Structure 1
Amino acid sequence: MQPENCPKPGCEADPTSREHGTEPPTTTVAAATPDGQPSGLPIRLALSGGGIRAAAFHAGVLKRLAEEGLLERVTHVSTVSGGSLLVSALVSFNEHAWPGSAAYLERTYPALRNLLTTVDLFTVRAIGWRGLFRFNRRILTHRASVLADLLAERWGVTGRVRDLPEKPAWLINTTSLHSGKCWRFSAREMGDWVFGRHYAPDIRLADAAAASAAVPYVLGALWVDLPKEGWFQTDPATRKPLKRTQPDVDRIGLWDGGVYENLGLEAIYKPGIAPDPAAFVICSDASGPVPAYGSASPLAIFRGRLAGPRLFDIASDQIRALRSRMFMRDVDAKVVTGALFKMGVSIRDVDIKEGRSRDEREYDAFLNDAEVRAALGHPTDLKAMTPAAFERIARHGFEVADTVLTTHSAALFPRTLQWRP
C-alpha cells in the first residue's frame, strides 16, 4: 500500500532532484550540433546487475560513450550489483573520481579489462587456504562481508562512500531487510524513505558495493553498524527532511539491490515524469535469463557462481520486465528522452524490429547472432573471465549502445562508430 502523499508508483521522489511540481516538466531536446557531435543534453546512467558479465557489458557501453566524448556529460549514475562492482573498481582506478572520456579509453578501460580477466573476486582460489583460517566461520555465515574484504584486497576498492565526488552523483542501490525498500548509498546520504536517512554516511566503499551485490542466501546480507544520531524522516514526495528520528535498531541487513529492482532505474527515472532538469536517460541492462530449472546450487558460490534461489530469479526477472516496459513506453511516448541497451539483442534483431534491411556482408562488421547469445549465456559469477569472453561481452555492450543510439535517437547521436579492440 502506497502512502497517501506518494505521487507515483515507486513512491520516492527522484533522489537527483529536490522537488517535484504537480505537472511533469517540459523536456527540451536539442539535436546534434552542425559538426555531427551530440548535443549537450546531460546523461543519466543506470547500470544493472548481472555479476562480472554485467561489469564487462557496462564497460563496453561506457567505451562507446567515451569514444564520442560523452562521459563528461554524465550527471548521475545508478548501479546495482555487477554495475556497482564495476563502478567501484572504475573510481578506484581513477583516484576516486569519475574518469573523463580520454582517461577512460587510455587508462581505465584497459585496467578494467585486465582486472576482469585475471582476478577472481569470490572463489575458493580467491579465498585460499589462508582465507579459510582468516575468515573462519564468516565463510558460512557472513559471506557478503567476505566479499567486501576481497573487493578491497583483490580489486583495490578503497576509500569511503562519503569521499566520492559529487558529480556525477553515484547512487549505489541495495535492498533493506528491515524496511523492504531500496536502501541507497551516495556521497551525502544513506537510507530509505521508510527507515530514515542519514546525511553523513561513514562506510567503506567496498562494503556499499558488496551490499549491492549480496545475492540472498548465496552471499547473504551484509550487516552494517549504524550511527545512533543524525537520522531524519523525509517526505516521500519531495525527499525533504521532516524531523529527526531514532532508529529502533543499531544494525541493518542489506541484500542485493536486484531484490528490489535489478535495473537501477528508479533512482534516475520515475514513470510518466520527465527528468528535471532535462536529461538523456540510459538504462544498460545486462541481466541474464532465468536459469534452467534444477541448474542452480547454493554451493556454486565457491566456484564463483551467483546461483540465487529460483523464487528470487523469477521475481527479479518479472520486475525487470515490468520496469523496462514502463521505461520504453515513456520513451516511445516522448515523455522521457532515453535508450535501453539490452544484452542479448543482436544488430539483426534491431534491424528486424525497425524493418531495416542490410546486405548480409554488412553484418560481418558486428558480432554474429551466435556470439551475442554466447555473451548473454555467460554465467552470472564473480570469477575472472577469459580474454575472449571479455572481448565478446564488452564488444556486445558497445555495439548495442551504438546501434540503439544511432537508430532510435539519430537526431542526438548521428555518428555510427565501429568497435576497435
Structure 2
Amino acid sequence: MNLMDVQRDPALAELRRRVRDFVAQHAIPLETRAHVHDPRALDTALAQLRPIARSLGLYLPQLPREHGGLGLGWVERSVVLEEAGRSYLGPGALNCAAPDQPNMISLLRQGSAGQRRAYLGPLAAGEIRSCFAMTEPAPGAGSDPSMLATRAERRPGGWVINGRKWFITGAVGASFAIVLATTDAGPTQFIVETSNPGFRLLRAIPAIDPYAIGGHGDIELADCFVTDEAVLGEAGEGFAYAQQRLEPARLSHCMRLLGRARRALELAQDYVNERRSFGERLADLQQVQAMVADCHMDLHASRLMTLDCAARMDAGLPVKTESAMAKVFVSEALYRVADRSAQLMGALGMSEDAPVSLILRELRPFRIYDGASELHRATLGRRFLSSRQGDIR
C-alpha cells in the first residue's frame, strides 16, 4: 500500500474515523492532570479504555489476527497510530504503546512457544505490562551499546545476571523485563520476571515527559538467577535482536507523536481564531499565519517520511537508513510544531490549563530516546560519505 492507496482506501478511511471517534469520545474526556507522573493512575485509566477499544474492533493493530490483533500492515498502522496518538491515552488503550508494542513483536519473532504462552498472551490481552532494559548509567551502555556492562554468567541450569539499568520506560508496574546482558557468547536478551528476588526497582526517575506508561525505572540486577528458558532467541544475538526491535519502534514513535503534534496545532488554531488583540483576531496577523503554515509543512513532511518508511517495511525492504532519517527529521519537526503551538497560545500555552505545554514536554525527549539526533546524523553522514552512489534512492 502506498500514499495514494492510503488516501483512496475506503476501509482505511473508515478505520481512521472509528479510531478518531474513540479518541474524541472516550480517551480525551478521561484525560486529567492527575495522570502526570503517576503510572498507577495511568494504568487505571487504560484499564477502563481497553475493553471499549476491544469492543469497537480497534485493539492490537500491530499483531496478526491469530494473536488477537487486527493484522494491519505498517502503512495501515501509521493511520491508526497517528489518530490514536491525538490523546496520550489512545495508544495505550489500543495496546499499541511503547514499550509493550515492540516487546510483543520481539516475542513474536524470537520467543519460544513457551515464552509466547507465558508472556505474549497476557501482554496482548492487557493483563500485564513489560519493559525493555538496555540503557545503563555511565560507564555502561547508552548511545553506544558496545559499552554494555550488565553481565550474565553461566550456572548449572541457567544464568546469573548482575548489573544496573536506568531510564527503563515502563518499569514501574511491569511484570517482566527483556534485559540485554553480555555473555561469553556475546550480548544476549533474557526475559526476567520482576518478581525475581534478584530484580529490584530502585526508583522511578523523574523525567520531563509527563505520561510515560510505567514511568522510567532505575533497576538493579543482583545475583539474579534465571533458567535457560529465559533466553530470548539465541545467545549472542542480543544486539541484532535489539536493532530489529528499534527500527520499527522508532517508526511507531513517529506515527503516535504525529497525532500529539496535530492535537497541539488544532488547539492553537482554535485559540488564534478566537483570541483578539489590538482590535483584530490573532489569526489575521501575517506572522501568526506564517507560523501556522510552517507547522502544517512540518506535519506534512513528517507524515510523508513516515509513510515512505512504512511502505518499505511492508515491502520487506531494509530501512536502516530511512528509519534513522525519519526519526531525526520527525522528532525535530514535531517539536517545532508543538513549540510554535505553545507560542501562539501565549501564557495559556505555557500553563497546564491547556494540554499544549504537556504535549511539548512529551515531544522533547523524542530527540534523545531511541538514539539521539546527533548520533543518527553522524552515522548517516558516515554512511553517505562512504558510498560512491550519488543518489541513495
TM-score normalised to structure 2 length? 0.30
Report the TM-score, using the length of structure 1 for normalisation: 0.29
Structure having the larger proportion of residues in helix: 2
Structure with bigger RCO (C-alpha 8 Å, 6+ apart): 1
